[in-house]
Amino acid sequence: MEKTGYMFAGQGAQFPGMGAKLVESSQAAAKVFEQADKVLGYSISDLCFKASIEELTPCAVCQPTIFTVSVACFKAYTEAHPDAETAATAGLSLGEYSAAVAAKVLTFEDGLRLIAERGRLMDKCCKEYPGGMAAVLGAEPTAVADICQQCDIDVANYNCPGQIVISGAKLGLDKALELLGNQKIRAVPLTVAGAYHSRLMQAAADAFAKALEATSFAKPECPFYQNVTGQQSTSPDEIRENMRKQVSGSVHWEDCARGLMSHSQRLVECGPGTVLSGFMKRIDRSFPAGPAFAEL
């Protein structure tokens, strides 16, 4: 029995038609979409299969759709590979909720309700506290963190060696891009609706605490890694608090990925796209990792 670690996609992985082919080939995946349509009272299936990229972009839409596709992908993969042992799980940002379902911390229904509320609150914050993000390439983490501190912005993601994402208000972000340019460090502004995983999302994090407290959490049935610490979490209260902090805190994805590797013989990416498999090539090219399905 192969020990398989599962990693789950984050925001930005969405694309029109995602999940449609998966549903055609997997009864387990089709059941997930049926459940999703009932839970939220609107058709997640129609959004995933028919919506344009513009319609899929807002947090309130892309978060529940990506979550649904990711869980459907996990169910389809485990249906097709019944001998694969779920050795550990982790997800990038919103993918942490799909990972929590795979680790049996949350039911699919509760995870979907939470992620829909998270997306709604984050969209609200984007409008009230506008900002942006940029990917910094090839820089040392300490150097990027120092510049963020000087500019009153935040490190949003430690994705992999050579890629860090920064986030914050426009004036601070512009200043940081200038300082990075002066040091010959390449930085690429991202096309996003707001400053995710920064202090500008604090109001969303605080409001989200109510939904987290009202939701039942269980102890993970396998090692479950969380973004804000990059470490395993075991108690429901710890998991809740880390999920609250994650909305406005840094995502330590490289640490999560290394944790997954320590328990697994291979890693499988569940969800739309192959972003996390790409990160793995930078984290440890020799470790077997790839998407569950080549096309969704």
What Cα–Cα distance (Å) separates residue 65 from each residue in 21, 39, 81, 95, 162?
Answer: 15, 13, 24, 11, 29
The pairing of strands 289-291 and 266-270 is parallel
Determine contact, residues 287/267, Cβ cutoff 8 Å.
Answer: yes
- Would residue 286 show up in a list of annotated catalytic residues for this protein? no
- Given the residues 26, 197, 248, 263, select the one marked as catalytic: 197
Side-chain half-sphere of 210: how many Cα atoms within 13 Å? 6
What does the alpha-carbon distance between residue 120 and residue 116 come to, in Å, rounded to a whole number?
6
Whether 93 is catalytic is yes
Tokens representing 33 are 């979409």
Point out the catalytic residue in the list 45, 70, 93, 233: 93
What tokens does 69 get?
A: 């596709």
Burial class (CB in 10 A: 0-12, 13-18, 19+), 167: buried
Cα distance between residue 7 and residue 66, in whole Å: 13
Is 240:226 a contact under the CB 8 Å cutoff?
no
**Three-state DSSP class for 61?**
helix
Contact between 158 and 254 under an 8 Å Cβ cutoff? The reply is yes
| Token couple for 47 | 């959004």
Among 146, 245, 158, 249, residue whose Cα is nearest residue 195: 249
Contacts of residue 202, Cβ cutoff 8 Å, sequence gap at least 6: 248
Element (H, E) at 104: none
* DSSP 8-state assignment for residue 224: B
Kindly list the catalytic residues. Answer: 93, 197
